[in-house]
Amino acid sequence: AQSVTQPDIHITVSEGASLELRCNYSYGATPYLFWYVQSPGQGLQLLLKYFSGDTLVQGIKGFEAEFKRSQSSFNLRKPSVHWSDAAEYFCAVGPPRGGGNKLTFGTGTQLKVEL
């Protein structure tokens, strides 16, 4: 069965520092890959997604992610973190074509930003 692993439960960075959140997936074929962000008490907002093509994808709010097939990873990065980026980040995978529409979420990474 497919699975998504976010190894870091909590990460703390200083404002202005760079950020990398890790995501690894286990799937028989390359799934569709997503990163969502959730502020406290709010719904989830899509940051970016990868389907195919260029392995470096740009998203909203200055985020980017790189798909590495050999490592089954889809890590999220931001060159300079802002205090407003403090939130919960979820990596998710969608099944390949014909596999339905059920997203599998990772357990999430809580980002804290120190001023």
Partner 1 sequence: DTEVTQTPKHLVMGMTNKKSLKCEQHMGHRAMYWYKQKAKKPPELMFVYSYEKLSINESVPSRFSPECPNSSLLNLHLHALQPEDSALYLCASSPGTGGYNEQFFGPGTRLTVL
Residues 77-96 that bind partner 1 (CB under 8 A): 90, 93-96
Closest to partner 1 by CB, 86 or 103: 103
**Range in contact with partner 1 (rule: CB under 8 A) among 18-26, 32-40, 59-67, 79-87:** 32-40
Q: Does 41 bind partner 1 (CB under 8 A)?
A: yes
Let me know if 18 is exposed, middle or buried by CB neighbors in 10 A (0-12, 13-18, 19+): exposed
Rounded (10°) CA dihedral 58, 59, 60, 61: -60
Q: Does 25 bind partner 1 (CB under 8 A)?
A: no
Q: Does 8 bind partner 1 (CB under 8 A)?
A: no
Backbone angles phi and psi of 70, in degrees to 5: -65, -25
